[in-house]
Amino acid sequence: MAWERMRRLHDKLNYLHELEKLKNFSWEEWRKRFMKFMNHKKSRVTDLFRKMDADNDGAVPRDDFIDGILKTKFPTSRLEMGTVADIFDRNQDGYIDYQEFIAALRPDWERKGPLTDAELIEDEVQKQVSKCTCRQKFRVHQVGEGKYRFGDSQKLRLVRILRSTVMVRVGGGWVALDEFLVKNDPCRELLTN
């Protein structure tokens, strides 16, 4: 009984410390810490949201959202996350939707409508290249719209979207970007063998 009482007292003390920290809570400081944490993990916040959004409806229930952030091992507490969830859930409907999530984390972001093909291609190229695990990252240089140089090669490659897949011009045909990278990115070759 003494151990149980001691544990409850310890939990209550931790709770009081968390409440004290929340008195000085700064959204801007939390946002910067979280974005730095995500960049350090080389993760995109959009990918994190998609992971939490199990049914792909663009909205995550408040409790699932809090659990999802806590699972990333970001240094925060459930109590602090309750305050943060209030900021994300601007319309107070109990759900954090994608628009609210991105707009809160990136105040300069505003939805401009559908992305252009060039923006979609650049987004997919960056996403695929970020999967490189080499010490010296696989380099990709965009030379012009739809024109890229991959790795150390000086060869200019055309890149476009065909049936919602990003394709790279190789020889006389086209190959999917991920297949192209498997053949040209050294760390991907090791992973597939």
User: Average pLDDT, stretch 95-109?
Assistant: 77
Is the pLDDT confidence value at 135 over 80?
A: no
Q: pLDDT tens for residues 141-174?
A: 888 888 998 888 788 898 998 888 889 999 889 9
Q: DSSP assignment of 83-99, as one string? A: HHHHHH-TT-SSEEEHH
Taking CA atoms, 163 is separated from 132, 157, 176, 181, 182, in Å, by 25, 19, 11, 19, 21
Tokens of 35: 């974005």
The token duo for 162 is 């065909």
The superfamily (CATH) of domain 2-105 is EF-hand (1.10.238.10)
CATH code, 117-192: 3.30.920.20
Per domain, the residue ranges of the chain are: 2-105, 117-192
> Rounded to two decimals, what is the model's pTM?
0.46
